[in-house]
Chain A
Amino acid sequence: MPNLGHESRITKKPSGIQPTPRTTMHEPRTPDPEADTPLSDDENALLDEMIRSGLPRRDFLKLMFGASAGIFAYQLATEKQIFAATSALAQGAAAPALAEGAGVAVQLTVNGASKTLKLDPRVVLLDALRDKLALTGTKKGCDHGQCGACTVIVDGKRVLSCLTLAAQVGGKTVTTVEGLATQEELHSMQEAFIEHDGFQCGYCTPGQLCSAVALLDEAKRGECSYVTADVKSPPMQLSDDEIRERMSGNICRCAAYPQILAAIQSVHSGRKATQTWGFATEEKLAEIRKEFTHDTTHDTV
Chain B
Amino acid sequence: MTPFNYSRAATADEAVKMVATHPQARYLGGGTNLLDLMKDNVESASDLVDVTRLHLTEIAEQNGGVSIGALAKNSDTANHPLIRTRYPLLTQAMLAAASAQIRNMAANGGNLLQRTRCGYFYDTALPCNKRAPGTGCGAREGLNRMHAIFGASEQCVAVHPSDMAVALAALDAKIHVRTPGGTERVIPMADFHRLPGDHPERDNTLEPGELIERIKLPPSNFAAHSYYLKVRDRTSYAFALVSVAAAMELEGDTIRDVRLAMGGVAHKPGRAHQAEKALIGKKATEENFAAAAAAEMKAAQPLAHNAYKVELGQRAMVRALLRANGTV
Beta-carbon contact of B104 and A158 below 8 Å: yes
Task: Kindly supply a per-residue 1/0 record for chain A positions 228-258, scoring 1 wherever the CB is within 8 Å of any chain B CB and 0 otherwise.
Answer: 1011101000000000111111100000000
Q: Mark B47-68, 1 if CB is under 8 A from A, else 0.
A: 0101010000000000000000
Query: A290: CB under 8 A from chain B?
Result: no
Cβ–Cβ < 8 Å partners of A234 in chain B: 79, 84
Beta-carbon contact of A249 and B98 below 8 Å: yes
Asked if B123 is an interface residue, CB under 8 A from chain A, the answer is yes
Residues A19 and B102 in contact, CB atoms below 8 Å apart? no
**Cβ B105 vs Cβ A232 within 8 A:** no
Which of chain B's residues have a CB closer than 8 A to the CB of A232?
84-85, 88, 223
Q: Return chain A residues, CB-CB under 8 Å to B223.
A: 232
0/1 per residue, A111-135, Cβ < 8 Å to B?
Answer: 0000000001110100000000000
Per-residue CB contact flags for chain B residues 126-142 toward chain A (1 = under 8 Å, else 0) read 11010001111110111
Cβ of A268 < 8 Å from any Cβ of B?
no
Which A149-179 residues have a C-beta within 8 angstroms of B? 151, 157-160, 163-165, 167-168, 170
Q: Is A180 an interface residue (CB 8 A)?
A: no
Question: Which listed residue, A10, A22, A157, touches B122 by the CB 8 Å rule?
Answer: A22
Cβ contacts under 8 Å, A167 to chain B:
6, 50
Q: Give the chain A neighbours of B192 by CB distance below 8 A.
A: none
Residue total for B at the interface (Cβ-Cβ under 8 A)? 64
| Pick from B118, B122, B198: contact of A6, CB under 8 Å | B198
Q: Inside 8 A of A90's CB, which chain B residues have their CB? A: 3
Given the interface contacts A6-B198, A12-B136, does A226 sit within 8 Å of B96 by beta carbon? yes
Chain B residues with CB under 8 Å of A9's CB are 129, 133-134, 136, 155, 198
Residue of A nearest to B163 (CB): A226
Contact at B48–A121, with CB atoms within 8 Å? yes
Q: In the assembled complex, which residues on chain A have CB atoms less than 8 Å from the CB atom of B5?
A: 121
Contact partners of B129 in chain A: CB under 8 A: 9
Interface hub of A14, A121, A144 (most chain B Cβ within 10 A)? A14
Stretch at the interface among B33-41, B180-188, B279-287, B310-318: B33-41
Q: Are B137 and A145 in contact (CB under 8 A)?
A: no
Which chain B residues numbered 85 to 141 have a C-beta less than 8 Å away from chain A?
85, 88, 91-92, 95-96, 98-102, 104-105, 117-120, 122-123, 125-127, 129, 133-138, 140-141
Residues of A at the B interface (CB closer than 8 Å) are 5-6, 8-10, 12-22, 90, 93, 95-96, 98, 104, 120-122, 124, 143-145, 148, 151, 157-160, 163-165, 167-168, 170, 211, 214-215, 218, 221-226, 228, 230-232, 234, 244-250
**Given A9-B155, A247-B100, 4 additional A-B pairs, CB 8 A:** A98-B3, A124-B35, A164-B35, A248-B99
